[in-house]
Amino acid sequence: MQNYIGPQNVLEKRKQYFYPCTSHFYRNPPQLVKGEMQYLYGHDGQRYCDFFAGVSVVASGHCNPEIAERTAEQLKMLQHTCTIYLTQPNVDLAERLAGVLPRGVNRTFFVNSGSEANEGALTLARLHTGRRGFLALEQGLHGRTYLTMSVTGIQMWRTDPQLEHERDVTFIPRPYERGVDTEIAARRSLEALKTVLEEKGEEIAAMIVEPIQGNAGIIVPPEGYFAEVKALLEQYGVLLIADEIQTGFGRTGAMFAMDRLGVVPDIITMAKALGSGIPVAAFATTDEIAASYNRPSASTFGGNPVSSATGLAVLDYIESHHLPTRAQQLGAQLQEGLQDIANRYPAIVSEVRGAGLMIGAELCWDDTRRGAELVDDVLEEMKDRGYIIGKNGVDRNVLAFQPPLVITEDDISGMLAALEDTLSKLYF
């Protein structure tokens, strides 16, 4: 065993050298030192089955050998230039993406992170339409840059207090409300959108949405909602940006979540799973819209040879191992199992929702403070049992299940048994 400094020493160094905004899960956090597909390992050799995947990042598994080998080969051959020089991996990746993106969305601009991808998409929308304004859904999360924080509706991630004075962003109620019929909530959202468009549609460049709101609690809109959104936006020449950073590349049972909904966005942003742990992101659009982005621009590390070679390896792995199909099938097992637990513990588990292997279980929505405390208790106990689970939600009272898509039926069955035992132990 290597000479690891241990969790407490890591915490001390973080306290001394990190910004105070940096937080962590767990009262007694492990020091993670190794990953193998769906598993993580602590410095003491403890194995954890990962049901969060770094918030949907390592969808193809931790240190997947089929992908890591190709990353290492490229790293030893050519590590970095920039898009001002010609290399092959990034054009090959752009070509491959054109084959999996919706028809007509075939132009790609590579960047490093989801925030940068959304920032670029918003800028592109302004360049193409000549308008300044944006629409976004309440409780959405789109990034950490200034413009992406401005269109972020979940308050805990709107870091800069000056964003309250942002004049170019209008928020629309999301198509969800606790305890309200989904169709009623969706209709309220659509009516609000229609009202805003009637008042100032000619000032708005684009509407940015997550097909499934991740950080806000894994909120799935009802069928047909985004089709109606797209139709309304088109009446006013407003572009639709789909933030597929959490939902892309098989997570929801389709290559992109919007594919499931039969909607083709004007611009699609992607990151996370495309690199499965290596920083790579992009925003993609049509020939017509891309033509408006004609001023000199570049991302220093965007589309570098290593990230591009990794992205190609990821797409090969997704295709050869049928990960979207696996996500659909295993997601059904996971959601059914969580719903069974909810039926047995209705005073604790208020709702189970999601698609594919992106599922949330909300605890105690009638007392969200208690629900948030219970979520932390569950995470701690499940960690000690060898399972990593995430948390999210506006009130941080949602258990988040977003595992690597290489998870197995046995992993899911074991986690569900441990979760039910945990609930029984902690609360009864």
Sequential pLDDT tens for the chain (428 residues): 578 999 999 999 999 999 998 889 999 999 999 999 999 999 999 999 999 999 999 999 999 999 999 999 999 999 998 888 999 999 999 999 999 999 999 999 999 999 999 999 999 999 999 999 999 999 999 999 989 999 999 888 888 887 765 789 999 999 999 888 999 999 999 999 999 999 999 999 999 999 999 999 999 999 999 999 999 999 999 999 999 999 999 999 999 999 999 999 999 999 999 999 999 999 999 999 999 999 888 889 999 999 999 999 999 999 999 999 999 999 999 999 999 999 999 999 999 999 999 999 999 999 999 999 999 999 999 999 999 999 999 999 999 999 999 999 999 999 999 999 999 988 76
pTM, rounded to two decimals: 0.95
The Cα–Cα gap between 355 and 218 comes to 9
Strand ranges of the sheet holding 267-270, from the earlier edge strand across to the other edge: 107-111, 281-285, 267-270, 239-243, 204-209, 133-137, 169-172
The tokens for 331 are: 């997601």
| Identity at 244, one-letter amino acid code | E
C-beta of residue 93 within 8 angstroms of C-beta of residue 313:
no
- Residues 43 and 41: their CA atoms lie apart, in Å, by 7
Q: Give the E-state strand segments of 212-262 in sequence order.
A: 239-243
| Alpha carbon distance 330, 423 (integer Å) | 23
CB burial of 141-161 (b: ≥16 within 10 Å; e: otherwise) equals bbbbeebbbbbbbbeebbeee
d(CA 8, CA 26): 12
Q: What is the DSSP letter of 220?
A: P
